[in-house]
Chain A
Amino acid sequence: MNIISVGVNHKTAPIEIRERVSLSEVQAKDFLTNLIDDSIAQEAMVLSTCNRTELYVVPGMPEVNGNYLKDYLISYRNVRNEVRPEHFFNRFGGNTARHLFEVASAIDSLILGEGQILGQVKDAYRVAVETQSAGILLTRLCHTAFSVAKKVKTKTRIMEGAVSVSYAAVELAQKIFSNLSMKKILLVGAGETGELAAKHMFQKNARNIVITNRTLSKAEALAEELGTNQVLPFETYKEHLHEFDIIITAVSTKDYALKEPELQKSMQQRRLKPVIILDLGLPRNVDPEIGKLKNMFLKDIDDLKHIIDKNLEMRRAELPKVQQIIDEELAGFGQWINTLKVRPTIVDLQSKFLEIKEKELERFRYKVSEEELRRMERLSDRILKKILHHPIKMLKAPVDTADSIPSKVNLVRNIFDLEEQNQLKS
């Protein structure tokens, strides 16, 4: 399998290097066009995300190897002073396929099992298709990678569980309240952290989200973005604490934004109905004493990190299952590659027999009626099909090593006296 991958990623280079070689979609299209036009590649694809820029190339010339491609990319990005070949990884043949399968199934990601990478691989393939740089090999490779990722997602738990603080907050809330759409949520602080948490809550069907912020316009903007359009003035939101089942705080304060007496009063008004407070602020926004109140669940960032750690541990435990799926798909992909090598012989074999059939039928063309000729043709087709079935099956049959393919091909070519094949690509 003559396919090379080179690139920089979070395992081989720091972010200062990765950002130097990264390619936007427009740049990737231009880069791929150059590779094809300069006959450097028969097929090529660029995968460029915030954590990696990787090339997948079927070489167009014998001198094109990993080092050649590294150099080409460094030159293209004009970063010879900052980026060195040592920052790149380099894979060949089956290892390239394995690498792409690992990337697509998110086990090569910075955050194990993150959900975005498959979409990014699909985008990379789309760009390759649009620039007509994806041929038979890359197309098959990418589709197998998508299939691997799908199997990994459905058959393992590698993508399960929250691995970010804001998702962990939602996961925890769902373990206390079964249906977030029935719960009233207060978001104190419309900054980046609060916004992310509110959006995750929204994704889990929470619709009754009220936002309060020192700058009211910011709260209104977020409420509008979420489509809830519910805001409370920062000066008076504490009077409404008892109305909320979930309170998320993410503000910058020197003193605690929520204190124990305020929550004690609100709990009395709620007649002990449970409340969860997710303190995502740093420094903490909520008096830790509040956590001691009855039916009160107070969780800060450190608490939520326990959930993240547990989920990451669970994901790591799934790695052997993922590797098994990759191994199986890799074996199938290898077999398909082998069938590519026997394809010319199969085509030659079929052509040879068709030629014989047509020559023989031609001898009878004017000796029999049209109806009889059609019958003879059908009969010949059936006989040919049966004769060719076994040799073709034998050629396509899985082999232990790619080395045994030439002998199999030569055997068939000799038996059926097929013309010499120009080359048998290895």
Chain B
Amino acid sequence: MDNTMLDNTLLLLLIQLIPLLYILSTGLYGADFFRGTSFAKTYKQPALIITIVTHVAFIGFLTAPEGYRLNYSSSMIMNMVALTLGVVYMFIEFSTKTDKTGFFVLSFATGAQVLASFILSTSPEGGRVFSGIGIGIHLFSAIFSLSAIAIAGLYSFLYILLFRQIKNNSFGFLFENLPSLEVLEELIKHAVAFGFLFLTITILAGVIGTTQSSKVINLFDPKLIALLIMWLLYGVILFIRRLFGWDTIHTAYLLIALFACITGLVVLMSIFSPTFHGMSF
């Protein structure tokens, strides 16, 4: 990808349009959740579908010059995080028939997309495009891991809010509108299981990709260390659940902390150290 991107009117238009679509979808989900607006209830799902389809088309246009291969850049990672969050949330909504958590998940997706579009419009230089199936799987599964971690963190946050409301007898707005604790717990469990699966794939694909490549990666790269810690903790959570039962409330606190750490780390590293595990090209 090069500066010719900025010459492409359609791409420029989409860079501006996609965050607006995310904001619109999030706004509609928010209006339905907080105000019960019938207009928002009717149009929130079509808006999300349009957003996702447009975003997929945008990624297609963006990666077309490089043979539809993703590059390693902050904007691309943020773009993909927003897209996968949107897709995963839509899957959750269709499969669980629960449409009351969209505002919370999509808010994060919107944040990621706004950041992605901002980076892309201010610094259109793309990152390095990687060849090879191993590194492709590594990148994809890392993005899905991030989305699973985000969803686990967001649903954990909602779980704690509802749990506290019920415990404290404050049967207010969230009590009325959020799905049951059991549904939220199931969503967290699935997010953790998928998170662990994708983190494992990320690590395995990364190891295979590195052994096949002549390049040397920095083993002390914070992203790499964070990835391993995350994988370990997610594994421990699943292991504890199978052996000793599931103390959701404490697990939820841990998942929120992990989500906050990884988000902060990704954002900081994307801005201050946008290299692929310290690899020089």
Question: Is there a chain B Cβ closer than 8 Å to A303's Cβ?
Answer: yes
- In the complex, whether A234 has a CB less than 8 A from a CB of chain B is no
Q: Is B181 an interface residue (CB 8 A)?
A: yes
Flag if B180 contacts A294 (CB, 8 Å). Answer: no
Contact call A306/B169, Cβ cutoff below 8 A? yes
Cβ of A172: which chain B residues have Cβ within 8 Å of it?
166, 171
Residue of B nearest to A292 (CB): B167
The distance from the CB of B101 to the nearest CB of chain A, in whole angstroms, is: 14
A294: contacting residue among B166, B179, B247, CB under 8 A: B247
Residue B245 lies at the interface, judged by CB distance under 8 Å to chain A = yes
Complex Cα distance, B162 from A314, in Å, reads 19
> Which one of B171, B181, B244 has the highest number of Cβ atoms from chain A below 10 Å of its Cβ?
B171
Residues of A within 8 A of B183 (CB): 178
Contact check, A178 vs B247: say whether CB atoms are below 8 A apart.
Answer: no
A306–B171 CB distance below 8 A: yes
Give A360 to B179 CA distance when docked, in angstroms: 76
A288 to chain B, nearest CB (A): 13
Is A297 an interface position by the 8 A CB rule? yes
Given contacts A297-B166, A303-B169, contact A273 B180 (CB under 8 A): no
Once bound together, how far apart are the Cα atoms of A299 and B180, in whole Å?
17
Contact between A271 and B245 (Cβ–Cβ < 8 Å)? yes
CB distance from A208 to the nearest CB of B (A): 16
A274–B163 Cα gap in the complex (Å)?
A: 11
Q: Is the CB of A175 within 8 A of B245?
A: no
A176 within 8 Å of B (CB atoms): yes
Please tell me if A174 contacts chain B, counting CB pairs below 8 Å: yes
Is the C-beta of A126 less than 8 angstroms from some C-beta in chain B? no
A177 touching B180 by the CB < 8 A rule?
yes
Contact A273 B175 (CB under 8 A): no
Bound Cα distance from A177 to B184, whole angstroms: 10
Among A272, A273, A307, point to the contact of B171 (Cβ < 8 A): A307
CA–CA, A172 to B171, complex, Å? 9
Q: When A176-B180, A178-B182, A274-B181 are in contact, do A295 and B247 touch as well, CB less than 8 Å?
A: yes
Q: Which residue of B lies closest to A294 (CB)?
A: B247
- A-B pairs under 8 A by CB, number: 51
Q: B248, A295: Cβ atoms under 8 Å?
A: yes
For the complex, is A80 an interface residue (Cβ under 8 Å from B)? no
8 Å CB interface, A263-313 against B: 270-274, 294-295, 297, 299, 303, 306-307, 310
Shortest beta-carbon distance from B2 to chain A in Å: 51
Interface assignment of B246: CB less than 8 Å from any CB of chain A: yes
Q: Which chain B residue lies CB-closest to A176? A: B181
B46 at the interface (CB under 8 A from A): no
Which one of A175, A271, A294 has the highest number of Cβ atoms from chain B below 10 Å of its Cβ?
A175
B249 within 8 A of A: yes
Nearest-CB residue, chain A, relative to B172 = A310
- In the assembly, what is the distance between CA of A173 and CA of B180, in Å? 9
Question: How does the 8 Å CB contact mask read for B81-109 relative to A, with 1 for contact and 0 for none?
Answer: 00000000000000000000000000000
CB-based contact B171/A310 at 8 Å:
yes
Q: Choose from A178, A272, A303 the contact partner of B179 (Cβ within 8 Å).
A: A178
- Which applies to chain B's interface (DSSP): helix, strand, loop or mixed? helix
Chain B residues touching A, range? 20 to 34
Kindly supply a per-residue 1/0 record for chain B positions 222-253, scoring 1 wherever the CB is within 8 Å of any chain A CB and 0 otherwise: 00000000000000000000001111110000
| CA distance in complex: A153, B280 (Å) | 67
Looking at the assembled complex, report how far the CB atom of B111 sits from the nearest CB atom of chain A, in whole angstroms. Answer: 29
For A245, give the chain B residue with the smallest CB separation.
Answer: B182
Compute how far the CA of A270 lies from the CA of B166 in the bound complex, rounded to whole angstroms: 21
B172 proximity list for chain A (CB < 8 A): 310
Q: Kindly supply a per-residue 1/0 record for chain B positions 124-152, scoring 1 wherever the CB is within 8 Å of any chain A CB and 0 otherwise.
A: 00000000000000000000000000000
Chain A nearest Cβ from B94, distance in angstroms: 17
Q: Which residues of A contact B181 (CB under 8 A)?
A: 175-177, 274
A174 CA / B248 CA spacing, docked (Å): 18
Distance in angstroms from B239 CB to nearest chain A CB is 14
The listed residue (A297, A306, A314) touching B167 by CB distance below 8 A is A297
* B158 → A minimal CB distance (Å): 13
Closest to B96 in A: A178
Q: For residue B170, which residues in chain A have a CB less than 8 angstroms away from its CB?
A: 306
Q: Which chain B residue lies CB-closest to A298?
A: B167
Task: Give the residues from 126 to 182 in chain A that come closer than 8 angstroms, CB to CB, to chain B.
Answer: 161, 172, 174-179
How far, in angstroms, from A30 to B180 measured CA to CA in the complex?
Answer: 52
Let me know if A175 and B249 touch, CB within 8 A: no
Known A272-B245, A294-B247, A295-B247; judge A174-B171 contact (CB<8 A): no
CB of A178 within 8 A of CB of B180, answer yes
Q: Shortest Cβ distance from A12 into chain B, in angstroms?
A: 34
List chain A residues, Cβ under 8 A from B248.
274, 295
State the CA gap A161–B180 with chains docked (Å): 15
Q: How far is the CA of A179 from the CA of B98 in the complex (A)?
A: 14
B residues less than 8 Å from A177 (CB atoms): 180-182
Cα of A274 to Cα of B180 in the assembled complex, Å: 12
Residues of B within 8 A of A294 (CB): 247, 249
Q: Which residues of B contact A175 (CB under 8 A)?
A: 162, 166, 175, 180-181
Closest to A168 in B: B171
A271 to B176, CA, bound (A): 29
Known: A172-B166, A175-B180, A299-B169. 5 other contacts (CB 8 A): A272-B246, A272-B247, A273-B246, A274-B182, A295-B249
Q: List 19 A-B contacts (CB under 8 A).
A: A161-B176, A172-B166, A172-B171, A174-B180, A175-B166, A175-B180, A176-B182, A271-B245, A272-B244, A272-B246, A273-B246, A274-B181, A274-B182, A294-B247, A294-B249, A295-B247, A295-B249, A307-B171, A310-B172
| Residues of chain B having any CB pair with chain A under 8 Å | 162, 166-167, 169-172, 175-176, 179-183, 244-249
Q: Which 4 A-B pairs have the closest CB atoms?
A: A271-B245, A272-B245, A178-B180, A178-B182
